[in-house]
Amino acid sequence: MATVCAIRRWASALKRGADEDTHFRATSLETLRNMVAAGSGITLLPALAVPQERKRDGVVYLPCIKPEPRRTIGLVYRPGSPLRSRYEHLAEAIRGTMDGHFDKALKQAV
pLDDT digits (tens, 9 = 90+) for 40-50: 777 888 888 88
Question: Could you give the CA distance from residue 42 to residue 105 in angstroms, rounded to a whole number?
Answer: 24
More confident residue, 4 or 34: 34
More confident residue, 72 or 106: 72
The whole-number average pLDDT for the span 82-95 is: 90
The whole-number average pLDDT for the span 88-110 is: 71
Question: Could you give the CA distance from residue 105 to residue 24 in angstroms, rounded to a whole number?
Answer: 31
DSSP string of 37-64?
HTTS------GGGS-TTSEETTEE----
pLDDT score for 56: 72
More confident residue, 102 or 93: 93
Q: Residue 2, Cβ neighbours under 10 Å: how many? A: 19
What φ, ψ does residue 55 adopt, rounded to 5°?
A: -155, 120
More confident residue, 2 or 93: 93
Q: Which amino acid is at 54?
A: R
The pTM score is: 0.50
> Which uninterrupted H or E stretch holds 55?
strand 55-56
- Rounded to the nearest integer, the mean pLDDT of the chain is 77
pLDDT score for 104: 57
Q: Which residues contact 109 (CB under 8 A, 6 or more apart)?
A: 47, 48, 50
Residue ranges in 1-110 assigned as alpha helix (H): 4-15, 29-37, 84-98, 101-109
- pLDDT of 110 over the 50 cut: no
The whole-number average pLDDT for the span 76-85 is: 92
